[in-house]
Structure 1
Amino acid sequence: MSPPPDDVLTAVAAAGLPGSLRELPQREIHEPLAGDLVAAVRPHRLAGLLLGTVQREELVLPPAATAALAETHTQDMATCLRLEHALLSVAELLDQAGVPFRVLGGTAAAQLQYRDPAMRPFHRLSLLVQPPQLPDATELLRGTGWTERPSDAAAVPGTTLTGPTGLRLDLHDALPMPVPGVEVDPAGLWGEGREFRLGGRSLRTLADEERLLHACGMVVAGSSSLVAHRDLAELVLFGEWLQPRLMHLSKVWNAHALLARAVTSVWRRFALADVTALSVWAEGWQSSTQTSPYRRGHRTPSDSSLRLRRPGWLQGPSAKRR
Structure 2
Amino acid sequence: MTDVGELLGSIAASGMECAQGAWPAEPLDDVAWAELLRRVRAERLPGFLVHAIGSGALAATPQQAVQAKREHLVAVGRVLGIETGALQILRQLASAGVQARVLKGPAVAQLDYPDPALRLFVDIDLIVRSDDFDRAVVALTEAGHHRRHRQPRPGFDRRFSKGTSFVVSDHLVVDLHRTFVMGPFGLWVDLVEVWRSSSTFTMGGARLQALDREVRFMHACFHAALGDVVPRLVPQRDVVQMLLDVRLDVDRVLLLARNWRAEAVVAKAVTESWRTLRLDLRPDLVVWALGYRPSRREARELALYSDSESGYARKSLGALRAVPGLRDKAAFLRALAFPDPSYVEGRYVSPRQRLTKGLFAVAGLRSRKRSS
Q: Normalising TM by the smaller chain, what interval?
A: 0.7 to 0.9
Structure 1 CA distance for aligned equivalents of residues 117 and 184 of structure 2: 29
> What is residue 25 of structure 1 aligned with on the other side?
24
Structure 1 residues 205 and 193: alpha-carbon distance in aligned structure 2, compared to 1, 3 A threshold: same
SS at match of 1:115: coil
For residues 292 and 224 of structure 1, what CA distance do their matches in structure 2 show? 21
Residue 254 of structure 1 is aligned with which of 238, 257, 261? Answer: 261
TM superposition shift of 1:124: 0.5
Instruction: Please identify runs of 4+ aligned residues in structure 1 that moved more than 3 A.
Output: 62-68, 177-182, 290-293
- 1:168 aligned onto 2:168: no
1:39 aligns to 2:38 (yes or no): yes
Counterpart contact for 1:159–1:171, Cα < 8 Å: yes
Q: Which stretch of the first structure deviates more once superposed, 85-94 or 224-233?
A: 85-94
State the 1:72 CA deviation. Answer: 2.1
State the superposition RMSD in angstroms: 2.4
State the Cα distance separating 1:229 from its structure 2 match. 0.9
Question: How big is the shift at 1:64?
Answer: 4.2
Q: CA, structure 1 residues 209+18, in 2 after alignment: closer, same or farther (shift >3 Å)? A: same
Q: Which moved more, 1:111-120 or 1:66-75?
A: 66-75
Pairwise CA distance, 1:10:
0.9
Equivalent positions of 1:272-291 (< 5 A) are: 272-286=279-293
| Other-structure match for 2:275 | 268
- Say whether the 8 Å CA contact 2:98–2:128 is kept in structure 1: yes
Corresponding residue of 2:232: 225
Instruction: Indicate conservation of the 8 Å contact 2:166/2:176, yes or no.
Output: yes
Give CA-to-partner distance per residue, 1:199-236, whole Å, 9 cap, x none.
22111111122221221122222343111110100010
More helix as a share of residues: 2
Which residue matches 2:198? 193
Structure 1 residues 239, 47: CA separation in 2 closer, same or farther (over 3 Å shift)? farther
What is the percent sequence identity of the aligned residues? 30
Deviation of the 1:174 alpha carbon:
2.1
Q: What is the match of residue 213 of structure 1?
A: 218
Q: What is the aligned partner in structure 1 of residue 97 from structure 2?
A: 98
Change (3 A) 1:218 1:11: same
Q: Which runs of 5+ in 2 are unaligned?
A: 151-156, 299-372
Partner-residue secondary structure (3-state), 1:32 = helix
Greater C-alpha Rg: 2
Determine if contact 2:26/2:60 at 8 Å carries over to the other structure: no
Q: Specify whether residues 163 and 107 from structure 1 end up closer, same or farther in structure 2 by C-alpha distance, changes over 3 A only.
A: same
Equivalent positions of 1:68-87 (< 5 A) are 68-87=67-86
Partner of 2:129: 130
After superposition, the Cα gap between the structure-2 partners of 1:241 and 1:162, relative to the gap in structure 1 and judged at 3 Å, is same
Gapped runs of 5+ residues in structure 1?
A: 294-322
**Counterpart AA for 2:179:** A
Q: How far is 1:63 from its partner?
A: 4.2
Report the counterpart of residue 52 of structure 1 in structure 2: 51
Secondary structure (helix, strand or coil) at the match of 2:92 reads helix
- Distance of aligned partners of 1:260 and 1:204 in 2 relative to their CA distance in 1, 3 Å threshold: same
1:4 correspondence with 2:11: no
Question: Does 1 or 2 have the higher relative contact order (CA < 8 Å, sep 6+)?
Answer: 1
CA 1:14–1:278: 2 relative to 1, 3 Å = same
Post-superposition Cα deviations, 1:169-188, rounded to whole Å, max 9, x if no partner, equal 11112222667587111111
Task: Give the deviation of 1:256 after TM superposition.
Answer: 1.5
- Structure 1 residue matching 2:282: 3-state secondary structure: coil
2:65 matched residue in structure 1: 66
Counterpart CA distance in 2 for 1:77 and 1:234 is 20
Q: Which moved more, 1:49-58 or 1:31-40?
A: 49-58
Deviations 1:109-157 (A, max 9, x none): 2111211111111000111111232222122223333221248xx9962
1:146 is matched with 145
Distance 1:107 1:231, change over 3 A: same
Report deviation, 1:32: 0.6
